[in-house]
Amino acid sequence: MDDWLENIAPRRVGAKALERYNGLVRNQIKPHFATIELQKLRPLEISKWLETLIAAGDRSTRSTRHTHGVLRTALNHAAAVEIIERNVATIIRSPVLQRVEIEISTSDQIATTLEKMRDHPSMFPIVALATATAARRGEIAALTWAGIDLQGANLRIERALE
């Protein structure tokens, strides 16, 4: 796992994804499999691990699926370079994605948030923009003056930063 994280993953994903991978390996994968040699890892252990992650109740199904995907990707590499004979993480399916209704902030909640942010002049424009447009952090960070039309009250989001 460490070799994959240090040498392979950085060539395949961006910095933000790599940071997420490191956290998932450190907090969700290694603690469960630290005592098991890769060659001795069996589908049953993968299945029990996924059940443990779900039972903990502190992460979404999407996050659990993503964690399983990171393990599967790392083991794919281990199988490709013949560290293991087969990738047992591909045998066990990720949990079914459960749709969760997203709570939309009310106009009163938005007004309260913006009022509280007025005391933070450097953050207020960012929070106001994010609230008004639903733009993500990386999209806001990538904005340029060329994408902002103040007279026409238009904003063009064309890219995002990691």
pLDDT tens digits along 135-151: 999 999 999 999 999 99
Where are the alpha helices (H) located in the chain, listed in sequence order?
2-3, 9-12, 15-24, 30-33, 43-56, 61-80, 107-117, 124-133, 137-141
Give residue for tokens 């070799």: 3
Cα distance between residue 31 and residue 53, in whole Å: 12
CA neighbor of 39 nearest in space, from 100, 102, 85, 90: 85
Q: What is the pLDDT of residue 71?
A: 97
pLDDT tens digits, 19-63: 999 999 999 999 999 899 989 999 999 999 999 999 988 888 889
Q: Where are the domains of the chain?
A: 2-90, 107-155
CATH architecture of structural domain 2-90: Orthogonal Bundle (1.10)
Does the predicted model carry a pTM greater than 0.75? no
Degrees, nearest 5: CA angle 105-109-111: 120
